[in-house]
Structure 1
Amino acid sequence: MSTHNPEPPSPNTASDRYAPSAETAQPRDMTTSSKNSRWSAPITSLAVKAAKLPDSSVNALCGASAGVASGIVTCPLDVIKTRLQAQGSFRPRKYTGPTRAVYKGLTGTARVIWVEDGIRGLYRGLGPMLLGYIPTWAVYMSTYESTKNLLYPQMENKWLARTLASLAAGGCSTLVTNPIWVVKTRLMSQVSARASDEHRPPWHYKNTFDAFRKMYAKEGIASFYSGLTPALLGLTHVAIQFPLYEFLKMKFTGLEMGQADAKTEEVHWFAIALATVLSKMTATSATYPHEVLRTRLQTQQRSLPSPSHDQVSFRGGQHDRFHTRPPGTASSDGMINLPRYRGIIRTCTVILQEEGWRAFYNGMGTNMIVHQNLKNEGKRVEEDEL
């Protein structure tokens, strides 16, 4: 509106020549709206479509997006953790020399990876890591939502219903996405050709799809479900952390479950934070060995059944120009191809005998840093569902 014009007359008394015509009004409106429409129309359309989606789908998308962002930042830490967990699993079966730890702590491991592989080595496995977040969260949130809705009407204890729903969701997502995480672990534990034979895995993958192809061709479909049992055992982390958190919160603040609100959290923020940290550390310390077991089983190369007598396995075509020793603990001297790690009890026994109890906690400090943001995001998404 021009500044020299008086206050616009009433529509009932104004003549047509004072009223803006459709032709003159349209360009003024379109000039402003056309700029906004070019930028806001896609966003508005996306918002409308998102509003029609179920809450579980929106939360799954938000969780996956947060996981992707966190994965890009924490990938180097995840590589370091995997190297520490897998250390000692690639030694030849006849190796009798002293155990030499190449990877020592967070900074020591990062230095070795940087010297041998550069920045690329710190981001090995990023592809399957990002690929796995979307199906993981999609399966987790959909299962969690349906299970929670099924249990809530039947159970008075809402906390127990949430815990059971979390366990069910975690189990389903683990079953569906385990092949992706096996490939991720394989790629992260892959070292350069300059590494010593003692720490070099018996396989070499160019990328994620090459890993899937070679694993299926040389080891069969069962290789994609290596480490599934310890991965499912890791779900006990939830069963330990949640009850312990509620117990500690009640001891520190006197508040029962469900009594905390924004005001009480501001008053008791230190006590609640302390309960969170202590429950997290206790649950992680109690269940962390399953991560080492899972990594050892996932990085152990399987061999397809041999057509020879008594399932005797030779090197055959299992070696390439990068690796010339037999896969895993398979032998080239006609011995039965029995892997070093077989089952939970057997794997624990072998690690304890060869490396001692400390090996069960390799990389635990790095693991806490890696997964803290992801677990907090998952807890926030679950709370938003309530």
Structure 2
Amino acid sequence: MSLKGDRLKDEGSRLQVTAAGATAGLIARFVIAPLDVVKIRLQLQTHSLSDPLSQRNLHGGPIYKGTLPTLRHILRAEGITGLWKGNVPAELLYVCYSAVQFTAYRSATLLLHSTLGEDTLPQAAESFIAGAVGGGAATASTYPLDLLRTRFAAQGNDKVYASLWRAVAQIQREEGVRGFFRGLGPGLAQIVPYMGFFFAVYETLRPPLSGLELPFSTGGAVAGTVASVLAKTGTFPLDLVRKRIQVQGPTRGMYVHKNIPEYAGALGAMRMIVRNEGFRGLYRGLTVSLLKSAPASAVTMWTYERALKFYSGLGERSEQSL
């Protein structure tokens, strides 16, 4: 089924779109897992590197500075597996998130077409609305996995949670159901404009770049990279606040960074970060986040388009064999 065969969001059946989105998320997550761990460690680091060491209240926590030094520090202190901490809930998160995101994005687009007509809205506006709906639906439905991913990635050699299932049981016992949704507010506040802007830029750039041939890349991958960098930079402070709030609760002082303050809501967290760490504190980990999000988005969109063609081909062959 295709309303417009050359447009990403209109290709394939609902099942094929869901399967392609899940496949893209699975592969992209494994590729960028080490950079994701580094990003989370930098985001949770609350002391200013410009302060004298004697004034830093570290409680034995490590000092990270820069992407490559942080990678080396984790490798040296925790081994190669330290770079894939939290990968199990993260893989589940990316598979479920991508599947829900692309499905909701396609459904929102078709709904706009059926209610307003296909050419009523400019393409950028239509993509922004559909992207925001897709991102919001995926974030809300998979948020507990995002929280678990963050908490496992924040662990050092002293494990806070022995396993995924024990983490679920412990959070439920000590924090209740609400504990799984810490930081959902800034998460939604970040993802709606992020995904809306991402898809708007992506759908705007993809047609003119579609004929671009690059080594190991396509015009779609380039469009996805540019869209991701612009969207991530604009919404990064909310992502950092979300990470800080996700590790609140009874285990707050047990992660690698043992000096994470206690925050009273997203706005309170933002005010405290600016007061104690300066405006730059809201952008801790931005460099590695861009290094992570650009290839992640490129891999996701590249894999999605090819997976969708593969599953669509399977569907056509199945129909022909009947």
TM-score w.r.t. structure 1 length?
Answer: 0.62
Cα gap change, 1:272/1:208 in structure 2, threshold over 3 Å: closer, same or farther? closer
Shift of 1:106: 0.8
Shift of 1:186: 0.2
Cα gap change, 1:245/1:128 in structure 2, threshold over 3 Å: closer, same or farther? closer
Report sequence identity in percent.
Answer: 27
Match of 2:246 among 272, 280, 298: 298
Is 1:234 aligned with 2:156?
A: no
The structure that has the greater radius of gyration is 1
State the one-letter code of the partner of 1:149. Answer: L
Q: Are 1:60 and 1:134, in contact at CA under 8 Å, matched by a contact in 2?
A: no
Q: Are 1:128 and 1:181, in contact at CA under 8 Å, matched by a contact in 2?
A: yes
For structure 1, the 5+ residue unaligned runs are 1-53, 90-95, 194-202, 250-256, 303-317, 330-338
Q: Are 1:63 and 1:377, in contact at CA under 8 Å, matched by a contact in 2?
A: no
Shift of 1:280: 4.3
* 1:110-160 deviation digits (Å, cap 9, x = unpaired): 122122211221111011011122321232222222211110131412522
User: Corresponding residue for 1:123?
Assistant: 84
Match of 1:76 among 27, 34, 39: 34
Is 1:144 aligned with 2:105?
A: yes
Q: Secondary structure at the match of 2:155?
A: coil
* 1:261-309 deviation digits (Å, cap 9, x = unpaired): 755x57xx9x99998766543332221111110100001115xxxxxxx
> Of the two structures, which has the highest relative contact order with CA contacts closer than 8 Å and spacing of 6 or more?
2
Is 1:221 aligned with 2:177?
A: yes
Q: Secondary structure at the match of 1:224?
A: helix
CA distance in 1, matches of 2:45, 2:179: 20
Name which of structure 1's ranges 275-284 and 364-373 shifts more when overlaid on structure 2.
275-284
User: Corresponding residue for 1:44?
Assistant: none
For structure 2, the 5+ residue unaligned runs are 1-11, 48-53, 310-322
Larger helix fraction of residues = 2
State the number of aligned residues.
Answer: 277
CA distance in 2, matches of 1:246, 1:142: 16
Q: Are 2:85 and 2:153, in contact at CA under 8 Å, matched by a contact in 1?
A: yes
* 1:233-274 deviation digits (Å, cap 9, x = unpaired): 222123444556788x6xxxxxxx96x3755x57xx9x9999
Is 1:106 aligned with 2:70?
A: no
For 1:342-361, list aligned pairs within 5 A. 342-361=264-283
User: Corresponding residue for 2:317?
Assistant: none
Q: Are 1:171 and 1:232, in contact at CA under 8 Å, matched by a contact in 2?
A: yes
Provide the aligned C-alpha RMSD in A: 3.6
Is 1:283 aligned with 2:239?
A: no
State the one-letter code of the partner of 1:218. Answer: E
Is 1:376 aligned with 2:298?
A: yes
Name which of structure 1's ranges 348-357 and 178-187 shifts more when overlaid on structure 2.
348-357
Match of 2:138 among 173, 186, 195: 173
